[in-house]
Structure 1
Amino acid sequence: MGLSSIDAKEMDYRSLSSSEHQQPPYMHKVGLPPKQNLFDEFKTTVKETLFSDDPLRPFKDQPRSRKFILGLQAVFPILEWGKSYNVSKFRGDVIAGLTIASLCIPQDIGYAKLANLAPQYGLYSSFVPPLVYSFMGSSRDIAIGPVAVVSLLLGSLLSSEIDPTTNPIEYRRLAFTATFFAGITQATLGILRLGFLIDFLSHAAIVGFMGGAAITIALQQLKGFLGIKKFTKETDIISVMKSVCRSAQHGWNWPTILIGAIFLTLLLFVKYAGKKHKKLFWIPAIAPLISVILSTFLVYITHAEKQGVEIVRHIEKGINPPSVKEIYFTGDYLLKGLRIGIVAGMIALTEAVAIGRSFAAKKDYQLDGNKEMVALGTMNVVGSMTSCYVTTGSFSRSAVNYMAGCQTAVSNIVMSIVVVLTLLFITPLFEYTPNAILSAIIISAVIGLVDYEATILIWKIDKFDFVACMGAFFGVVFASVEIGLIIAVSISFAKILLQVTRPRTALLGKIPRTNVYRNIQQYPEATQVPGVLIVRVDSAIYFSNSNYMRERILRWLTDEDEQLESVNQPKIQFLIVDMSPVTDIDTSGIHAFEELHRSLHKREVQLVLSNPGRVVIDKLHASDFVNQIGEDKIFLTVGDAVLTCSAKSPAEVV
């Protein structure tokens, strides 16, 4: 039988490398890219970082009138998709808007209490901001309004500066100030196209932070659920449980517990049914409003408030009053509002972008992150001037909006109209609404934020991510929301630093019957080439990791020489560094290679490079490092490098 083409190539390869006098066949040289001046290089980098989507592309070669229209559409996307709007889409948006309105009204009243604000401010925040977003936002599915996590965060940060009970007016003014600066932060990130900064908070850290916040929010609801009058202002689990245990001595309010338990059971049951049967999504969506109506009627006819059941009492009637003059633009509270606003704005932005991206992926359309930031920022700035506090996209309401068949952002407009009608005509009916039902609604809403399935998946995929997740979770639960946030950010940055300062390296070996070289730990059948050590660096080489990279390669070489010496085999003569994954190198990295070259020269080992990229080879030439090692020591592939090294060495390729 004749030899296969692979066997023939292998025999030819062996015969070629067995003779030290035989020259290797013609090989392609690593190309040197054309020189790029500093300005062009800087312009390319900035464009790729901030303008990779080329926002000016639609404006090219367009008349001035058309550019004006395109500019308006860029700021107000409703002018673009509104041209194709029809009755069919309107029908879907009306149904979705009515559905999320029934969910948001009871939630808004409860979330305002989380922020230590009067109930009407939660309703105000579901009127103006959704209208602004409808005109400026690019997501078709996101539902805007107050959310539990941001409300808790805002309430916690604000109450650490001003007591909402003794100084309600100053507290409210600081809330509007924080909302104003939250919007300024979000809009600035979008205008300057710095949205990539929010990606530094890893998914694992967000999962842990959200889960911890959900537990904290649920624990805070024990006050209303159990009818406790004196409750701790701390948010950690230890302080909360101590407060609950102390209050038990004075007795909990059993009518309150009965109301809360009955309706919480009902809400959890319909929520479970809605997940099992997707067509019944509307039942858990309207269940909170139905629960509020029933519990309010029950308290009204029984006068349960006389038995100690805490009720909402008065909700201010009417639409949003202006609050521009209440914002602190000077004084001691200006910087405090700025600090709180930046933190709340970043968390709100992270949540909204995550929601928008997930639903955009489901419906297969593009979401412009920078436009989203400008829209979210603008709505919060306008909201701060119309008695609203920080709003963002809601997980629960956006999911209901999506399942209800929303087509465009008009569903937010429908929701806003329902909320304003509620503010004008219906708020007096909420006077007898028990706090227990609001606590039950919030508990049922935040349970979904504890994503145990994602946590298990994080554990399976990346243990360091799991540490970040658990660090954020326990920081929120056992300390405070701020501490949990700091831990989440710190661990995320620690992971980045660890990956940058300690890049992965690997020893490569030849896959049998191929000319392919792979990691010998991943491919046990891969064999090392006698007299040649092949190392791959899996990272860009910068000042932060260059010394580690040099020391790690020398350790590989030392260990290999010791093993060869123990079996009376000749030492390594060639060190091949596979630079395929090396995307960039700085002066410290080149200096590390120069030191590596000198160290190898003392050991009588030749340094060989394989497949450096365009940026890397350009810098190697500019630093004159190529002349130091010789142009004949840089190859297009590892196979070419091994073939040449083997031709110069008496050792045979296995």
Structure 2
Amino acid sequence: MSNRITHAIPGTEMGSNTNDHHESQQYNHKVPVPQKQNLFTEFKTSITDIFFHDQPLKNFKNQPKSRKLLLGLQAVFPIFDWGRSYTLSKFKGDLIAGLTIASLCIPQDIGYSKLAGLAPQYGLYSSFVPPLIYAFMGSSRDIAIGPVAVVSLLLGTLLQNELDPVKQKKDYQRLAFTATFFAGITQFALGFFRLGFLIDFLSHAAVVGFMGGAAITIALQQLKGLLGIKTFTKKTDIVSVMRSVWTNVHHGWNWQTIVIGISFLAFLLVAKYIGKRNRRYFWVPAIAPLISVIISTFCVYITHAEKKGVQIVRHIDKGVNPSSIHEIFFTGDYLVKGFKIGVVAGLIALTEAVAIARTFAAMKDYHIDGNREMVALGSMNIVGSFTSCYVATGSFSRSAVNYMAGCNTAVSNIVMSMVVLLTLEVITPLFKYTPNAILASIIIAAVLGLIDIEAMITIWKIDKLDFLACMGAFFGVVFVSVEIGLLIAVAISFAKILLQVTRPRTAILGRVPRTNVYRNIQQYPDAAKIPGILIVRVDSAIYFSNANYVRERTLRWLSEEEEELKASGASKSTVHWLIVEMSPVTDIDISGIHALEELYKSLQKRDIQLVLANPGTVVLEKLHSSSFAELIGEDNIFLTVAHAVAKIAPKLEP
């Protein structure tokens, strides 16, 4: 470290006295006092930056009423925008994509409804109405709407904590519709009031862990159908599930069911592998579930395997979605329960859908309006709750198939919903002999893709604290329950935010040789400290939550520096100037200013002068408003660290 202390003062390496004079001239700039905004302007700017950063109303200015009406319709229903340029060639791509995802969604929907504890037709209902609403209101071209495994499991788990889906079937269905209604209200409110940034508080690492844990939990739950077990635990943790599996090994397993389940699971996994290896064969894993259902249903029908213990679907209600608006709990105890369940399920569904929409938008290089997406998702779930649907959202597997099938617009969702309508009106009786083992196999094959090992390894390499959040959510879901895993994910995400806010990074800066650039000495080992000067950088806004820490950490840096100087036997063993590099400090509040005042007083007792370098406009304005700039002297606020050192260095010469 001593080599950093003994480097020459800036200007001595640069050559002649002429150069030194030139440097002193260019460092004579003073930091201007920012013009103070009035209260209304400041408030308006802050609100605009937070809620209207994308300037959604700018296109409405100076427009005739007819144009404003059209723009308003396009803002609420984007289909009126892109629909004007819709062509037959685009429809061909959407038709193929819609038929492809329909073949995938029909068997999945039947299985996912069982995860939610509902009859099979409710999964199909949820792939008919919500996709239609989304097609008119959503801004994503690629997302495929319908029930998904994780949300279905979460909803089913939370509902079954309140009611028994068999003994209290009617109230259970009503509570599901109530939860769906409030899930939609939550999503709509977040988008309407432009509060979508709130879902970003659930970190990507936590979502990866939660999804992976949920995938394993869902797969374990399917062992009941895969093995033909009739009596199975209602708990979701891995210990309870495996205990239930092994206690039924002698009398509960059905070998015919196992043969059907394992055979078609292998077929589905092979089809998935083929599609993954060669994108031209994307249709293979897409149609494999429907082929499995058709073949297995035919085999059970002709062999009457249901008489040998093979469990089958037996009945799916025929016909279009019945109205359920009168079944929603708008009063009573179940209203509050439905609200709580709906908020949780709605937020998870929203997080998944927005992530999927952004992913595919980035791949096709188009813009996604997050708040508009939330309004669209909320609207479709509100309408869905009135038409016997449960919480629907974007499905990653179906969206990926939709993308690879060549979809161009949300019309693919309309095509899919029309196929589902045809299924409800005509085909549902044919599912009577579909074995439950096939549905279990389809779900297992679908959810395995949610376990993202590569993402977990990347998280471990990049950020160990993020990995802790990931594993906390993962093990919470697998070993306790879905809701506990979700709670752990949220808690660790918030803990990380609080840790970063309350304990911001600080660094000692040194001068990079042969330059006037000052950088972190840990990152640049050759960077030299300036004798008699300590340069500290604070890499965060200074608020009430971290102000005292910043002050104490700066004083600790100072003490450590003086101890190091004495230990090294440097000729100048005392620091006389403290420069705080403030370019990363985006904002400061009254607690932060008080902390700087206390720091200044502490430094005065040690005969050390405080100097600030490059404070931003907002920070500088507050420093002047609080008179702190006058306290330390306006001459001690500089454009850059280099300016400050050039001004101070001559005062340190013997």
Counterpart check, 1:31 vs 2:32: yes
For 1:121 and 1:517, the matched residues in 2 are separated by 63
User: Which residue identity lines up with residue 138 of structure 2 in the other structure?
Assistant: G
User: Which residue identity lines up with residue 602 of structure 1 in the other structure?
Assistant: K
Contact 2:228/2:252 (8 A) holds in 1? no
Counterpart check, 1:11 vs 2:15: yes
Could you give the per-residue CA deviations for residues 166-195 of structure 1, whole angstroms, max 9, x where no partner exists?
000000000000000000000011110100
For 1:435 and 1:300, the matched residues in 2 are separated by 14
For 2:18 and 2:585, the matched residues in 1 are separated by 30
Alignment equivalent of 1:582, drawn from 577, 581, 585: 585
For 2:11 and 2:631, the matched residues in 1 are separated by 38
| Cα distance change of structure 1 residues 118 and 41 upon mapping to structure 2, 3 Å threshold | same
For 2:392 and 2:366, the matched residues in 1 are separated by 24
TM-score relative to the length of structure 1: 0.97
For 2:268 and 2:548, the matched residues in 1 are separated by 59
User: Which residue identity lines up with residue 14 of structure 2 in the other structure?
Assistant: E
Q: Secondary structure at the match of 2:154?
A: helix
Counterpart check, 1:599 vs 2:596: no
User: Which residue identity lines up with residue 263 of structure 1 in the other structure?
Assistant: F
Q: 1:518-597 to 2 correspondence within 5 Å?
A: 518-569=519-570, 570=572, 571-597=574-600
Contact 1:474/1:484 (8 A) holds in 2? yes
Contact 2:256/2:310 (8 A) holds in 1? yes
Could you give the per-residue CA deviations for residues 345-398 of structure 1, whole angstroms, max 9, x where no partner exists?
000000000000001111111011111111100100000000000000000000
Q: Which residue of 1 aligns with 2:289?
A: 288
Q: Which residue of 2 aligns with 1:625?
A: 628
User: Which residue identity lines up with residue 640 of structure 2 in the other structure?
Assistant: T
Q: Secondary structure at the match of 1:250?
A: coil
Q: Which residue of 2 aligns with 1:225?
A: 226
Contact 1:23/1:647 (8 A) holds in 2? no
TM-aligned CA deviation for residue 605 of structure 1: 0.7
Could you give the per-residue CA deviations for residues 129-169 of structure 1, whole angstroms, max 9, x where no partner exists?
00111111111100000000000000000000001010000
Counterpart check, 1:176 vs 2:177: yes
Unaligned runs of 5+ residues in structure 2 are 1-9
Q: Secondary structure at the match of 1:523?
A: coil
For 1:14 and 1:464, the matched residues in 2 are separated by 52
Q: Secondary structure at the match of 1:534?
A: strand
For 1:35 and 1:649, the matched residues in 2 are separated by 36
Could you give the per-residue CA deviations for residues 419-448 of structure 1, whole angstroms, max 9, x where no partner exists?
011111110100000000000000000000
Alignment equivalent of 1:648, drawn from 622, 646, 651: 651
Contact 1:267/1:284 (8 A) holds in 2? yes
Q: Secondary structure at the match of 2:233?
A: coil
Could you give the per-residue CA deviations for residues 288-316 of structure 1, whole angstroms, max 9, x where no partner exists?
00000000000001111011000000110
Q: Which residue of 1 aligns with 2:166?
A: 165
TM-score relative to the length of structure 2: 0.97
TM-aligned CA deviation for residue 25 of structure 1: 6.0
Q: Secondary structure at the match of 2:112?
A: helix
For 1:495 and 1:625, the matched residues in 2 are separated by 32
Q: Secondary structure at the match of 1:536?
A: strand
Q: Which residue of 2 aligns with 1:239?
A: 240
For 1:310 and 1:31, the matched residues in 2 are separated by 79
Q: 1:276-425 to 2 correspondence within 5 Å?
A: 276-425=277-426
For 2:547 and 2:25, the matched residues in 1 are separated by 33
Contact 2:226/2:440 (8 A) holds in 1? yes
Contact 1:508/1:535 (8 A) holds in 2? yes
| Cα distance change of structure 1 residues 351 and 568 upon mapping to structure 2, 3 Å threshold | same
Contact 1:7/1:513 (8 A) holds in 2? no
Q: 1:609-624 to 2 correspondence within 5 Å?
A: 609-624=612-627
Q: Which residue of 1 aligns with 2:156?
A: 155
User: Which residue identity lines up with residue 11 of structure 1 in the other structure?
Assistant: G
TM-aligned CA deviation for residue 519 of structure 1: 0.5
Contact 1:178/1:340 (8 A) holds in 2? yes
TM-aligned CA deviation for residue 38 of structure 1: 2.0
For 2:27 and 2:593, the matched residues in 1 are separated by 29
Could you give the per-residue CA deviations for residues 602-632 of structure 1, whole angstroms, max 9, x where no partner exists?
1111111101110111111111111111111
TM-aligned CA deviation for residue 568 of structure 1: 3.6
TM-aligned CA deviation for residue 644 of structure 1: 1.2
TM-aligned CA deviation for residue 24 of structure 1: 6.7
Q: Which residue of 1 aligns with 2:488?
A: 487
User: Which residue identity lines up with residue 601 of structure 2 in the other structure?
Assistant: R
Q: Which residue of 2 aligns with 1:3?
A: none
Cα RMSD (Å) of the superposition?
1.5
Which runs of 4 or more aligned residues in structure 1 lie more than 4 Å from their structure 2 counterparts after TM superposition? Answer: 6-9, 12-17, 22-26
TM-aligned CA deviation for residue 567 of structure 1: 3.4
Contact 2:113/2:152 (8 A) holds in 1? yes
TM-aligned CA deviation for residue 37 of structure 1: 1.9
Q: Secondary structure at the match of 1:557?
A: helix
User: Which residue identity lines up with residue 203 of structure 2 in the other structure?
Assistant: S
Could you give the per-residue CA deviations for residues 234-276 of structure 1, whole angstroms, max 9, x where no partner exists?
0000110111111113241000000000000000001001000
| Cα distance change of structure 1 residues 15 and 567 upon mapping to structure 2, 3 Å threshold | farther
Unaligned runs of 5+ residues in structure 1 are 1-5
Identity rate of aligned residues, in percent? 71
Contact 2:175/2:334 (8 A) holds in 1? yes
| Cα distance change of structure 1 residues 526 and 177 upon mapping to structure 2, 3 Å threshold | same
User: Which residue identity lines up with residue 141 of structure 2 in the other structure?
Assistant: R
Could you give the per-residue CA deviations for residues 537-566 of structure 1, whole angstroms, max 9, x where no partner exists?
000000110100001010111111112122
